[in-house]
Amino acid sequence: MDDQAGDRPFLQFRNVKKTYDHKTLVVEDFNLNVAKGEFITLLGPSGSGKTTCLMMLAGFEDVTSGEILINGRPITSIAPYRRNIGMVFQQYALFPHMTIRENLAYPLKIRKQTREHIEQRVDQYLALIELQQFGGRYPAQLSGGQRQRVALARALIFAPDIVLMDEPLGALDKKLREQMQFEIKRLHDQLGFTVIYVTHDQTEALTMSDRIAVFNQGVVQQCAPPDVLYERPANLFVADFIGESNKLRGTIEAVAADRVQVRLNDGGLVSTLKANCVTPGQPTTVSIRPEKLTFTERLGDAGNRVRARFVTSHYVGEYIRYHFETANGSELVVKNMNDSSAPPLATGDEIDLAWLPQDSQALDGQESPKPQ
C-alpha cells in the first residue's frame, strides 16, 4: 500500500513488520503517511494487527523491521516516555486516589511545569470538557462518559505530538458512545491534534475519521476517506467489513471503459463498475449496498434487474429491511425508508429488484468475518 498525505508527512510508517515467533507476520509491510492534525482510524477484526501498530508507535512493542518517524525523526529506538505521545484507553486509567484536577495536573507535574502554568492549563481543560464544577471530585464519583472525557483531557493537556486511542469508547453504552464520538471530534476540530484511533466498530470509524486503514491478517486492504471506503471498496473484504453488502456471484463476460458486464450464476446479465476484477472469464462477486437495491417501480426501465422471492421484513424505525432470496439461493437485503413506498408483499411473492450500474462493483477476494 502506498499512501500519500502531503509532501512532508508528520507521521510515517515505513515498511513496518512485526512478528513474535519469527515465522508469522502479525503486521506485514505497513506503510502509512499521516498529515499533522489528521484523524486516522485503524479498523479491522480482532487479531488483524491494528492494535499492534498502535503499540509499536507508542513504544510498548518493538518493531521487527522497518521504521516509524515523527517529523522526519526515527523514533523506534526512543523510549516510550520520550516520544511525546498521549494515550486514551478503553479502561479510563485515571488515578482513583486523585481528584479530577490532580489527575489532569499529573502529566504537567512530571514534566516539571510551573504551578501557575499547571493551574492555568487545568482550568482551561476542565472548561474544554465542560466539567468546571467537578474538579474536586474523584473518578468514582463521575459517570462513565465524564471519566472518559477526563481521560481524553489528560492525554491532551501536555500538548502531545500525537494522541493514540485504543477502543476508547468500548466500555460505554450506545447513547454515551455516540455522545463521546461527538465530543472527541469537537475537541479534535477545536485543538487540531493528530489522532491514531483503533476500533473494530465500522460506524464509529465512518463517523469520526479523515481516513480509515482497513486491516485483515496483518495487511492493510485499503486506506481512504470514509465515503470512498463505503462507496468504492477495493475488494470484497472491505465491502463486506465496512457496512453491509449484497453479493451476487457470476463471471466477467465483457469489459468496456469503466464498466464490466457480468453473467450472474442464475443466467442474468448485469452491468457494474470495475474494481479489482476485470478479466473476461474471471469469477466475480457483484457487491451492492442494501440502500442502493430497490423495487423495480422506483427505477422504471433503468438499471439492472434480478428476480427474487420475498422472505420477510424487519421494522427498524426510520427504515424497513426487506429480505429476499434468488432462485440460486443468494440472499438479498433491501433497506427502504419507512415512507410507505414499498409494494405490498407476502411471503413467497416474486418481484424484480433493481439497481443502477454505478451503484455496484465487480469484486474479487475473500469475504470478511463480521467483527466480534
User: Alpha-carbon distance 146 to 100, whole Å?
Assistant: 10
- State yes or no: pLDDT of 336 exceeds 70: yes
State the pLDDT confidence band at 92, using cuts at 50, 70 and 90: low
Domains and CATH numbers, the chain: 11-231 (3.40.50.300), 244-363 (2.40.50.140)
Predicted local distance difference test score (pLDDT) of residue 369: 54
State the pLDDT confidence band at 368, using cuts at 50, 70 and 90: low
User: Alpha-carbon distance 182 to 331, whole Å?
Assistant: 35
Say which residue, 169 or 133, is predicted with more confidence.
133
pTM over 0.85: yes
Nearest 10 degrees: Cα torsion 179, 185, 186, 188? 150
Which regions of the chain does DSSP assign to beta strands (E)?
11-19, 25-34, 39-43, 65-70, 73-74, 85-89, 162-166, 194-199, 211-216, 219-224, 246-256, 259-264, 269-273, 283-288, 294-295, 304-315, 319-325, 331-337, 350-355, 360-363
Percent of the chain having pLDDT more than 70? 94
Grid cell, residue 225, equals 476517506
Predicted local distance difference test score (pLDDT) of residue 3: 46
Percent of the chain having pLDDT more than 90? 71
Predicted local distance difference test score (pLDDT) of residue 8: 77
Contacts 24+ apart (CB under 8 A), 295-302: 295/334, 295/336, 295/342, 295/343, 295/351, 295/352, 295/353, 295/354, 296/351, 296/352, 296/353, 296/354, 297/343, 298/341, 298/354, 299/354, 299/355, 299/356, 302/354, 302/356
Predicted local distance difference test score (pLDDT) of residue 295: 87
Range in 89-93, 171-175, 233-237 the model is least confident about: 89-93
Chain CA centroid to CA 279, Å: 30
Predicted local distance difference test score (pLDDT) of residue 96: 94
- 369 in Cβ contact with 237 (< 8 Å): no
Predicted local distance difference test score (pLDDT) of residue 50: 93
User: Alpha-carbon distance 84 to 92, whole Å?
Assistant: 19
Predicted local distance difference test score (pLDDT) of residue 297: 63
Predicted local distance difference test score (pLDDT) of residue 58: 94
- State yes or no: pLDDT of 343 exceeds 80: yes
- State yes or no: pLDDT of 91 exceeds 90: no
Predicted local distance difference test score (pLDDT) of residue 174: 84
